[in-house]
Amino acid sequence: MAFDKRLLDVVACPLCKGKLKLDEEKQELCCHFDKLAYPIRGDIPVMLPDEARKMDLDEVLP
């Protein structure tokens, strides 16, 4: 089983309430505004800011 991409329509960043982008390779949901990447563990996104990884500048810029 994999992360259900339909969840991207309803899940939002817990800090800014903005849209998240799925990074399938890293299994993370990324908020480019806050520069945080939330892990997906066992196909379930962990939407806790304390669990998020700070994204590098090269990951944030297009």
Model pLDDT for residues 13-37, shown as the tens digit of each residue: 999 999 999 999 999 999 999 999 9
Tell me the two tokens of residue 54. 């700070």
Taking the C-alpha atoms of residue 55 and residue 7, their distance in angstroms, rounded to an integer, is 22
Work out the burial of residue 60: count CB atoms within 10 Å of its CB; fewer than 13 is exposed, 13-18 middle, 19 or more buried. Answer: middle
CATH entry 3.20.10.10 includes domain 5-60: no
Residue ranges of the domains in the chain? 5-60
pLDDT of 1 reads 65
Could you tell me the pTM of the whole model? 0.90
More confident residue, 13 or 61: 13
For 31-60, write each residue's pLDDT tens digit. 999 999 999 999 999 999 999 999 998 887
**Dihedral sign computed on CA atoms, order 61, 50, 28, 16:** negative
